[in-house]
Amino acid sequence: MISNNLPMTVWPRFTPVADHALLVSFADSISDEASQSVITLDRALALNPPLGYAECVPALINLLIDFDPLLTDHSQICAHVTHLLKLCRTDKNVGQSYEVEICYEDEFAPDLSAVSLTTGLSLDAVVDIHLNGSYQVRMYGFAPGFAYMSGVPSAIQVPRKPVAVRDIPAGSVIIAAQQCLVTTLKMPTGWSIIGRSPTRIFTPNSSTPFLFEVGDTVRFKRIDRAHYERHSKAVALG
């Protein structure tokens, strides 16, 4: 049995989920340190999975380990994770680096002016600051290929809108607080839309449908409208 009577400051915390999963939490609020611990454990489990391991689902502050209850149990998974955490070192550079193209033309960036007004920065300054940011994929969620990235520079962090806007095109680059995301399908969003990318993040029929893995680093590269159109046509044909 796993005891849940631990002091609230003890991390990680292990929580049984049904008879076939264990939730491993590293904090009770979002932080880069907690997310990095999640990424490190996720990679360690991939390299050294326990008996009965089925899959691991990483999130911002925790990850869910799903297992076969006929082969193992919560206590054995907990012991394996504890052993791994003693061996592995948290590394901020565990993933690959990717470049994502972005066009900031008015048609593709309906909220760029609002971000400029909220932050007191010029449009060019908002764009430059966004381009100079280094973004790390923290988790996938909400919809296929939705890679939630941290790293939006504090100077351009803005809150979510009070009401979501419908039918935002796929490829929209959106920000809210410290998070950034490239949409992969038409959707409603309350995040600020500051550009659009022709880079394909989600390829559903591929053996590797997601461009990024959790822990990868992303930087944005500015392109003009003509380049965007050429790349979009190439992606559509290809």
**Higher model confidence: residue 214 or residue 21?**
21
Averaged pLDDT for residues 209-225: 92
Q: Write out the residue limits of the CATH 3.30.1360.40 domain(s) in the chain.
A: 13-87
Lowest mean pLDDT of 103-107, 147-151, 210-214, name the range. Answer: 210-214
pLDDT at 3: 47
pLDDT at 238: 56
Neighbouring residues of 73: CB distance < 8 A, sequence distance ≥ 6: none
Q: Does domain 13-87 have CATH number 1.10.3480.10?
A: no
pLDDT at 175: 98
Q: Write out the residue limits of the CATH 2.40.100.10 domain(s) in the chain.
A: 97-237
DSSP string spanning the chain?
-------TT-SSEEEEETTTEEEEES-SS--HHHHHHHHHHHHHHHHSPPTTEEEEEE-SSEEEEEE-TTT--HHHHHHHHHHHHHH----TT-S-EEEEEEB--GGG-TTHHHHHHHHT--HHHHHHHHHH--EEEEEE-SSTT-EEEE---GGG--PPPSS-EEEEPTTEEEEETTEEEE--S-EEE-SEEEEE--S--B-TTSSS-BS--TT-EEEEEE--HHHHHHHHHHHHH-
pLDDT at 88: 79
pLDDT digits (tens, 9 = 90+) for 124-167: 999 999 999 999 998 888 888 899 999 999 999 999 999 999 99
97-237: CATH topology? Cyclophilin (2.40.100)
- Tell me how far apart the alpha carbons of residues 135 and 146 are, in angstroms, rounded to a whole number: 14
pLDDT at 1: 47
User: Please, which pLDDT band fits residue 236 given cuts at 50, 70 and 90?
Assistant: low
Average pLDDT, the chain: 90
Is this model's pTM higher than 0.85 or not?
Answer: no
pLDDT at 94: 62
Q: In what order do the strands lie in the sheet with 97-102?
A: 97-102, 217-222, 135-140, 147-150, 179-182, 172-176, 192-196
pLDDT digits (tens, 9 = 90+) for 179-207: 999 999 999 999 999 999 999 998 887 88
User: Please, which pLDDT band fits residue 51 given cuts at 50, 70 and 90?
Assistant: very high
